[in-house]
Every structure is written in structure tokens, then in C-alpha cells.
Amino acid sequence: MNSYAQEVEEGDRFEFGKNWRRFLSVLNDERIAEAEKSLKQMLAVENLQGKTFLDIGSGSGLFSLAARRLGAKVHSFDYDTESVACTKELQCRCFPDDSNWTIEQGSVLDVDYLKSLGEFDIVYAWGVLHHTGAMWQALENASLPVADGGMLFIGIYNDQGGKSLRWRRVKQLYCSGIAGRSLVSIFFIPYFILGGLAIDLLKARNPVIRYTKYKKSRGMSRVYDWFDWLGGYPFEVAKPEDIFKFYQNKGFVLKNLITCGGGLGNNQFVFIKQ
């Protein structure tokens, strides 16, 4: 897609795929198992046998792989060319020549493309729609391929008011060029590292504090998610109640919800289409 390359060149879009390529170097069976576990817990299922799964913005391909290993027939797409390549690499590693896992480049903002895919039992768009530059349209479009009785599983950045506006400026600076990227990295990477050390110290001093290793949450990598967060631009946010009302008005019922407690991060939703 020529528009994608142009947006990257003009500093309007972060190249998520390059970051995901580095993440694949640390991907192992334990991380894949954790990704499977997170899908099963949020969807409240033991497996996805006989189900169809649409991965909108597949990124590294980790959750497409998790869904496929759980038994689903999977279709993956991403706007980022390198992300598509990463997903294809995972398929080659784990499910070569598999007719039940298709991968291609596409955009969630392309209504005609989405309609051409048909309907799915599960539509997954975690941490994706708020990076399109048109989040509410993307939220609308993501609901189109959900079959009646099917589930929509999304993760959307929490609206922190002024903090979110400041983070948007940081991300915009990071994507502006080499100088901006260097400046942001020099300041914020030590900030993140010290924050992680502070959590570890609190854990050591107070055994009551519950702290789970980051890779245990969704099979992801803390380090690569730092860069994903800093460069994640376009960047939009929403309050949990606004997402809930948006889909309620479209005939969806909330099945599961995990918020980030009003802080930094994604609120996770699973809706059922009635």
C-alpha cells in the first residue's frame, strides 16, 4: 500500500512491523502458551475448535498463531507490510502450507475489504484500532465481520485526559525523525527501567503486593512493548463507558471486561453480537 509508506515517510505512522520483527527473536513456546491462555480466559472457552477467527492488525502474528493452535480457522491481516511478513514467518515456522490460516495486507478502514471477508465467530483487534487515525470509524468497521452470536474482542487505550494528550505529543515527536526518536528514547527508556525496578523493590519489601512477570500476561515482551508504546502513533483513547455505550447501541452485549484501573494501558472488552 503506497499510502502506508507515505504516512511512515511523513512521520504520521509508526512502523510497528519492524518492532515486531525484533520481538520474534525472543518468541518461545512459553510466550505462545501464555497468549493461548489469555485468549481462553477472556473468551471463556477451552478451545476454538470449529470456530473462525479474524485477527485485525495481526502484528507479530502471535495471537493468530495462538488461535490456530487452539483449533480455529484463522484469517490475519495488517496495514503494516512488515507486520504481514512477521505473521507469515510465524505461519511458516509453525503451520507451513496450512489452508486454515490465510494472511494478507489490508486495512480495517476499508469497508469493502472487510465485507469481502464474510463473517467470523471471533473478531480480534487488540491494541490496534486506536492506531488507525480514525478510531471510532475503525471500531464501527470491526463490528461488521462479527457473525450473529459471535464475539468481538478488542483492547483500547484508556483515556487519561491531560496525560493522554501529553503522551500523544511524545509519540508524535518519536515518529518525526531520527532526532525526535533519539531524544524520546534517551529520556523515556531509563524512565521505564527505573519504574520496573521500583515495582520489583516494592514486591521484595511487601509480599502482599501482587506482581506478575510481564511475559505472563499475554506472552509479550516488556522491552519491545516500550518501543511499541513510545512510537504508537496515530494515538487515540477512550473511556470504558464510551466503548460500552458505542457497542451497546449496535446490539452488542458485554461478555467480559478488564480495565487498567484508570491508569496507563489498554481496557479489554469482549462483546457478543445479538
Please check whether residue 184 is in contact with residue 229, taking contact to mean a CB–CB distance below 8 angstroms: no
Burial class of residue 250 in the structure, from the number of CB atoms within 10 Å of its CB (0-12 exposed, 13-18 middle, 19+ buried): middle
What is the model's pLDDT at position 2?
Answer: 63
What is the model's pLDDT at position 215?
Answer: 40
Pairwise CA distance, residues 141 & 52, whole Å: 18
Look at residue 184 and tell me if it is in a domain.
Answer: no
- Residue-wise over 186-221: b if at least 16 C-beta within 10 A, else e? eebeeebeeeeeeeeeeeeeeeeeeeeeeeeebbbb
Please check whether residue 44 is in contact with residue 37, taking contact to mean a CB–CB distance below 8 angstroms: no
Pairwise CA distance, residues 215 & 16, whole Å: 19
Q: Which residue has the cell 504516512?
A: 7
Look at residue 38 and tell me if it is in a domain.
Answer: yes
What is the model's pLDDT at position 204?
Answer: 43
What is the model's pLDDT at position 222?
Answer: 59
Look at residue 41 and tell me if it is in a domain.
Answer: yes
The CATH number for 98's domain is 3.40.50.150
- Per-residue pLDDT tens for 155-173? 999 999 999 999 899 888 8
Strand order in the sheet with 52-56: 101-105, 73-78, 52-56, 120-126, 146-157, 266-273, 252-258
pLDDT per residue of the chain (274 residues) written in tens, 0 to 9? 568 778 877 777 878 888 888 888 888 999 999 999 999 999 999 999 999 999 999 999 999 999 999 999 999 999 999 999 999 999 999 999 999 999 999 999 999 999 999 999 999 999 999 999 999 999 999 999 999 999 999 999 999 999 999 989 988 888 888 888 888 778 776 766 555 544 444 444 444 433 333 344 565 555 556 666 777 889 999 999 999 999 999 999 999 999 998 888 899 999 999 9
Look at residue 150 and tell me if it is in a domain.
Answer: yes
Pairwise CA distance, residues 23 & 25, whole Å: 5
Look at residue 251 and tell me if it is in a domain.
Answer: yes
Pairwise CA distance, residues 190 & 102, whole Å: 40
What is the model's pLDDT at position 139?
Answer: 98
**Cell numbers representing residue 123 in the block:** 473478531
What is the model's pLDDT at position 89?
Answer: 95
Look at residue 169 and tell me if it is in a domain.
Answer: no
Look at residue 44 and tell me if it is in a domain.
Answer: yes
Under 8 Å CB-to-CB from 73, ≥6 apart: which residues?
Answer: 51, 52, 53, 100, 101
What is the model's pLDDT at position 228?
Answer: 67
Pairwise CA distance, residues 32 & 216, whole Å: 10
Please check whether residue 63 is in contact with residue 40, taking contact to mean a CB–CB distance below 8 angstroms: no
Look at residue 198 and tell me if it is in a domain.
Answer: no
Q: What is the pTM of this model?
A: 0.86
What is the model's pLDDT at position 201?
Answer: 40
Domain with 64, as residue range(s), is 2-159+233-273
**Number of independent structural domains in the chain:** 1
